Amino acid sequence: MLDEPGDPFGTAELRGRVLDAWAASAARFREDANAEEDYALGGYRDRVVVELAQNAADAAARAGVPGRLRLTLRDGTLTAANTGAALDAAGVEALSTLRASSKRGPDAAGETVGRFGVGFAAVVAVSDAPRIRSLTGTVGWSRDRTRELVRGVP
- Contacts of 121 by beta carbon, 8 Å cutoff, 6+ apart: 36, 39, 40, 44, 98
33 confidence band (pLDDT: 50, 70, 90): confident
- Contacts of 21 by beta carbon, 8 Å cutoff, 6+ apart: 28, 29
What tens digit of pLDDT does each residue of 131-152 get? 999 999 999 999 899 889 888 8
Indicate if the pLDDT at residue 55 is higher than 60: yes
Indicate if the pLDDT at residue 107 is higher than 60: no
User: In the predicted model, what is the mean pLDDT of the chain?
Assistant: 83
pLDDT (0 to 100) of residue 32: 86
Return the exposure string of 1-38: e unless at least 16 CB atoms fall within 10 Å of the residue's CB, then b: bebeeebbbebeebbeebbeebeeeeeebeebeeebee
Indicate if the pLDDT at residue 39 is higher than 80: no
What tens digit of pLDDT does each residue of 74-106 get? 998 999 999 999 999 988 888 888 755 555 554
